[in-house]
Structure 1
Amino acid sequence: MLISVKSVHNSLFLTPYSARFWVSFALAATSIGTFSLSKAQALNFKFNAAPDIDPIALAGFEAAGNLWSSVLKDNVTVNINVGFQPLEEGVLGQTQSQTVDIAYSRVKAALSNDRTSQSDFTAVSNLPQDNYLTFIGTEEDGFLELDPDDPGRISRDNTTLSVNTANAKALGLITNQNGLDGEITFNSTFDFDFDRADGINSGKFDFIGIAAHEIGHALGFVSGVDLVDIASFPNGPFAPFDLDNLATFSPLDLYRYSEDSVATADTLGKPVLDLTADPADQYFSIDGGRTNLALLSTGFFNGDGYQASHWKDNSLLGTLASIGLMDPAGAPGERLQLTELDLQAFDAIGWDRVPETVPEPSTIAGSLCAGLVIARFLKRRRG
């Protein structure tokens, strides 16, 4: 059952904590210009532009939308407000997504009905078969516990998911194609390179890449572990806050595992997710945790220092190559790239892929952050 519509704002700051983190905002539909992308692919974007936006930037959003339309074929329209304003230090851009609360049982059924690839069939066959989630979670006191620890203590965070409206459209769970799905704001204090044809200027940031990454968050690459992170001790700024009665986790969280959760699953005889805000490794898996496809970030406050709504940052992996477009940080001159792992994740949460299509490196880009993109060189400089 559709419970509510709300707005979620994921934020990651290099400066001291701001009270705006994880605050719900009413999205103001102050769109002056509407830029609609209509093309052969069914996925369509409508960018509602702030009055002072540069046409070159609007064309950059078009290019980022074209990237997603070239690899995803769902017959939906995604509506996003776009604009520029000064943001906090180290933040390149931020995304605020509209979400709906939907019973896990309905999401599971929709994912089953939406299977179009072998990965889909594998992912759905390994979803929790109960109509509730069993997971290792971080309690508000900071301790890790099995939730629920018995079937009589099931709460809303076990039974109901928070689903981005764009993702819900792709799954056929909502039908309002005109509803606003998100708002992307770029930091007007940074220099961006809007032309990727000749590479990215060493002193500028890849605008199309950042826009594509932020759109990816609006499409559903988000994690409720970020909410757990801020609600729990020892470092969560809202701790202690009990999340039991909230729809906390996302469809992407259905594929979040760890060695500990798999070991617990072997004991219980059913899938156990890892939804902790903790430094220990968590990974993306579509076969019940047996195969670690890619590491995930684990939380800004209590985890590895990056929002959980991302892949693990390549700087923490000791490599120059990022896992994919949804890496949490980037550097000037860096050109981020959509990868097979990115597409496998979007496939798993209910988007339909153009078969076996991965854009060539010359056609892609990345951004950073589920709500905010971080400048990696600033984070390193600040220690």
Structure 2
Amino acid sequence: MGSTSAGSVSVDYPTARSRLVASASNTSEVAIYNALPSSVVPTNTGDGSVVEVSRSLAQPLGLVPLNPNETVATISFNKNFAFDFNPDNGVDFDKVDFDTVATHEIGHALGFVSNAGGDSTAQVSLWDIFRFRPGITTNTFTTAQRIMSVGGSQVYFTGQPFSVEFSSTDQLRLSTGGPDGSGGDGNQSSHWKDDDLTGEYIGIMDPNVSSGIHEDTTENDYSALETLGWNLLNNAAPPLPPPPPSNDDFANARNVTGCSASVIGTILNASKEAGEPNHSPDNNGGTHSVWYQWQAPGNGTATFTTAGSAYDTVLAVYTGTSVNALTLIGKNDDIPDVPGQPHNVTSSVTFTAAAGTIYLIAIDGYNNGGSGGDMGPLKLNWSESNCTEPPPSLLIEQSTIDRAVALDSVTFVRGPFRILSNLNLSTDHHTRVMLFTSNLGLEPGENLSVLSVQAAGVSLPVEAAGTVRGLSQASYIIVRLPDGLATGDLPISVTLRGATSNVGKLGISP
């Protein structure tokens, strides 16, 4: 009779949890949100580290910017059904109440969505965070498994009392048939339990409606909407969304190096620039791209993939120096499926790389339903055949600190800085060297701490670090040098935290 197509955003679970906590409008919501697991949702199957949030919900929760012109969902109706469009005088016995169907589909658009019963990689939806086996209590709420499989008895639980057919309960029964309703009780999991099976009408999100009947929205429906993050009584503006990734624009492409490695990031709240090409082979790429650049170490076959990303990605590789004048090397939407394995929505591009050539890698989301494209945490992986990592080389004169180059990850540390410099290693080799920084102001109560040291993309072991005695703005970092270093100039980067100034010097002492 009706169907809803709604865009979604994939976010790491701690971010979703923190936004729910911030949206709480009463003491009951504060209590239940604070009782949610802190880092990962325990599930009996599927991925509990990432949460899928309907785009209609992502805006009021502050996960994406408010956009009054965005189409967050579309609702379709089957013209082959006879609808009664005016229930005020009763619903004709041979017609279906249009208001009931429309209100039900709006409920799906607002977040009544479950991924329970999907494949083994299915992400929990926001509603699935409250999906359990019967017998759940407030004492076991934090650690109990959320049920992401088909079949068996499943209930919605928030610790609050509900009313069903004039009786009180704290557990509302749910449909268990999976995404297409082919398993379990035969109804899609994104619904209350069918009242035809139980004799109890829970609310408008019942999976079926009969001819001649008008069904009402109940307090159970409203309560679920509020628990999902909707505030039905407060007109307060939603919180500001997270800032776009640092590599949102082509000019700020994040540099990645080496023959084989992986990095994590996100396209949440990224944008698309004027003149930027569509990165999907069927032109269904989204509008939330981020950029990476990689200089091929040698001549060989290079492969870039987004395996491990938490959303439906598209991937493209280019050469060129301007976003509106790029030469396409290759692009891909989905890696081909493997028989017997879940449907693959990550991407892969393989090409012949030329040594010294700089390749630009764009990652976006598939534009499903015209919502601007999927968004979420990403992982970029690459490897090149016949490739030898160049040895790292040290050391050094001076450098400035570029605060804009922060850790591009879903988890940030306080005040991350990356010190970049061109280093020179003489023929007088040492097994250890001491790097030192100066002219760095420290945050109150902070000590300068080293996150990583890399030379030409190769990590150098940090053996010790500390503040130089008597010099509060000077710190030392002792690193061990690997064997086989050649003389010459190569880049080094030191990533650290705790400093507040945006300029400084990096020095060397053997």
Q: Give the TM-score of the pair, scaled to structure 2.
A: 0.41
Structure 1 portions without partners, runs of 5+: 1-91, 138-146, 148-156, 232-241, 356-383
Is the CA contact (8 Å cut-off) linking 2:53 and 2:125 kept in structure 1? yes
* Secondary structure of 1:225's aligned partner: coil
Cα drift, residue 275 of structure 1: 2.0
Residue number among 154, 168, 183 corresponding to 1:302 in the alignment: 183
Give the distance between the partners of 2:55 and 2:136, measured in 1 at CA.
29
Contact 1:262/1:272 (CA < 8 Å) preserved in 2? no
SS in 2 for 1:279: coil
| Residue in structure 2 matched with residue 335 of structure 1 by the alignment | 214
- Any conservation in 1 of the 2:56–2:110 contact (CA below 8 Å)? yes
Report how far residue 354 of structure 1 moved.
2.7
Give the match for residue 372 of structure 1.
none
- Give yes or no for the alignment of 1:313 onto 2:313: no
Could you tell me how far apart the structure 1 residues matched to 2:150 and 2:5 are? Answer: 24
Are the counterparts in 2 of residues 136 and 272 from structure 1 also a CA contact under 8 Å?
no
Q: Does 1:181 align with 2:181?
A: no
- What does residue 113 of structure 2 align with? 222
Classify the secondary structure of the residue corresponding to 1:273: coil
Shift, 1:107, TM fit: 0.8
Give the whole-Å Cα distance in 1 for the aligned partners of 2:106 and 2:142: 34
Q: What do residues 140-168 of structure 1 show as CA deviations (whole Å, max 9, x unaligned)?
A: xxxxxxx7xxxxxxxxx221111100011
Instruction: Tell me how far apart the structure 2 counterparts of residues 203 and 270 of structure 1 sit (CA, whole Å).
Output: 47
Moved over 3 A (4+): 259-263
Amino acid at match of 1:214: E
The number of residues matched between the two structures is 224
**Counterpart pick for 1:276 among 148, 155, 165:** 148
Q: Is the 8 A contact 2:116 2:150 kept in 1?
A: no
Do the aligned residues in 2 keep the contact of 1:126 with 1:287 (CA within 8 Å)?
Answer: no
CA contact (8 A) 2:7 2:73 kept: yes
Which range moves more in the overlay, 111-120 or 335-344? Answer: 111-120
In 2, the alpha carbon distance for the partners of 1:171 and 1:281 equals 30
Equivalent residue letter for 1:301? S
SS at match of 1:158: strand
- Deviation, structure 1 residue 183: 1.2
Q: C-alpha separation between the residues in 2 aligned to 1:282 and 1:271?
A: 16
Q: Does the CA-based 8 Å contact 2:10-2:50 persist in structure 1?
A: yes
1:351 Cα deviation (Å)?
0.2
C-alpha separation in 1, matches of 2:232 and 2:66: 22
Deviations 1:319-350 (A, max 9, x none): 2x520010000100111110011011111010
Q: Does the CA-based 8 Å contact 1:298-1:304 persist in structure 2?
A: yes
Aligned match for 2:60, one of 166, 170, 175: 170
Partner residue, 2:133? 258
Q: Is the 8 A contact 2:44 2:149 kept in 1?
A: no
Query: 1:352, 1:214 → 2: CA distance?
Result: 19
Q: CA deviation at 1:173?
A: 1.1
Alignment-mate amino acid for residue 186 of structure 2:
G
Alignment partner, residue 48 of structure 2 = 158
Inter-partner Cα distance in structure 2 for 1:249 and 1:166: 17
| Percentage of matched positions with identical amino acids | 31
Counterpart CA distance in 1 for 2:142 and 2:87 is 47
| CA distance 1:161–1:122, change in 2 (3 Å) | same
Task: Judging by fraction of residues, say which structure has more strand.
Answer: 2
Aligned partners of 1:349, 1:213: CA distance in 2, in Å? 16
Matched AA of 1:201: D
Counterpart-to-counterpart distance in 2, 1:115 and 1:315:
34
**Which amino acid letter does the alignment assign opposite residue 144 of structure 2?**
V
TM-score, normalising length: structure 1: 0.55
The answer on whether the counterparts of 1:285 and 1:292 sit within 8 Å (CA) in structure 2 is yes
Contact 1:277-1:302 within 8 A present in 2 as well: no
- Contact kept in structure 1, 2:100 and 2:216, CA below 8 Å: yes
| Distance across 2 between alignment mates of 1:195 and 1:329 | 20
Structure-2 residue corresponding to 1:345: 224
Could you tell me how far 1:128 is from its partner in structure 2?
1.2
Alignment deviations for residues 10-59 of structure 1 (CA, whole Å, 9 cap, x no partner): xxxxxxxxxxxxxxxxxxxxxxxxxxxxxxxxxxxxxxxxxxxxxxxxxx
**1:267-311 superposed Cα distances (whole Å, 9 cap, x missing partner):** xx942233233321111111399x743101111223111000000
Report the CA distance between 1:175 and its aligned residue.
Answer: 1.1
Q: Which amino acid aligns with 1:104?
A: Y
Distance 2:8 2:115 in 1: 12
Q: Secondary structure at the match of 1:102?
A: strand
* Residues 1:174 and 1:323: Cα distance change in structure 2 (over 3 Å): same
Determine if the alignment matches structure 1 residue 108 to structure 2 residue 12: no
Q: Does 2:38 align with 1:96? A: no
1:328–1:258 CA distance, 2 compared to 1 (3 A): same
Measured in 1, the distance between the counterparts of 2:170 and 2:96 equals 31
Q: Does the C-alpha gap of structure 1 residues 297 and 107 become closer, same or farther in structure 2, counting only changes over 3 Å?
A: same
CA distance in structure 2 between the partners assigned to 1:344 and 1:307 by the alignment? 21
Q: Tell which structure's C-alpha radius of gyration is larger.
A: 2
Deviation at 1:125, TM superposition (A): 2.6
Distance in 2 between residues matched to 1:213 and 1:316, nearest whole Å = 19
Distance 2:89 2:208 in 1: 22
Task: Please say if 1:121 is aligned against 2:30.
Answer: yes
Q: Distance in 1 between matches of 2:160 and 2:11?
A: 22
Instruction: Name the counterpart of 1:195.
Output: 86
Shift of 1:122: 3.2
Q: What is the identity, as a one-letter code, of the residue corresponding to 1:215?
A: I
Higher helix proportion, which one? 1
Q: Give the gaps of 5 or more residues in structure 2.
A: 162-168, 235-510
Q: Quote the Cα distance in structure 1 between the aligned partners of 2:159 and 2:35.
A: 5
